[in-house]
Structure 1
Amino acid sequence: MTTEQDVLGRIKALTEEEHELRQKAQQGSIDSAEEHERLKNLEVALDQCWDLLRQRRALRVAGGNPDEAQARPGSEVEGYLQ
């Protein structure tokens, strides 16, 4: 079972990883192609986490069970319209 605290912890860890990656890129420790690919993967993972968190909160507000929320595939969460 994934709790909101678990999801928030994952978001924090991914955000920290993103900051570290950007620092390494500025320092020249990694090349831009590697940075771009890893950032893309991080962005998808973050979008999935935020989507899962929104699902959990919506279920709770609607009187449902937040534990029924499930992570959606990256292709789905990246396809949402703004």
Structure 2
Amino acid sequence: MSRDASILTAISSLVGEERELRTQHVKSRGDPATHSERLQKLEAELDQCWDLLNQRRALRAVGASPDAAKLRPASQVQGYLR
């Protein structure tokens, strides 16, 4: 489960950065184009982390090794419904 914990830590860190960027954007601090680009990257990374965590949980639920889960490309996981 330590791998799950590290994924959750990464998710927490990404969410924190996302919140900060959104707050800065609302308060009109910084370059909006830079914020938009970074937010898109953060959203893609978050989608990948959630997908990896969900894969691990699903594998564990069926008695398989969660270590068989693989990080999928952002283009594949973006838009998945949680």
TM-score of the two chains, using structure 1 as the length reference: 0.88
- Determine whether 1:31 maps to 2:57: no
Q: Corresponding residue for 2:65?
A: 65
Please state how far the C-alpha of 1:80 moved relative to its aligned partner.
4.4
3-state DSSP of counterpart to 2:5 = helix
- Determine whether 1:5 maps to 2:13: no
- Gaps of at least 5 residues in structure 1 are none
Higher relative contact order (CA 8 A, sep 6+): 1
Deviations along 1:7-53, whole A, 9 cap, x unmatched? 10000000000011111112222122111111100000000000000
- Counterparts of 2:30 and 2:77 in 1: how far apart (Å)? 28
TM-score of the two chains, using structure 2 as the length reference: 0.88
- Counterparts of 2:15 and 2:81 in 1: how far apart (Å)? 23
Q: Corresponding residue for 2:43?
A: 43
Q: Provide closer, same or farther for how the CA distance between residues 80 and 16 of structure 1 changes in structure 2, counting only shifts above 3 A.
A: closer
Q: Corresponding residue for 1:56?
A: 56
Identity %: 49
* Paired positions, count: 81
Aligned-pair Cα RMSD in Å: 1.8
- Counterparts of 1:81 and 1:46 in 2: how far apart (Å)? 13
3-state DSSP of counterpart to 2:40 = helix
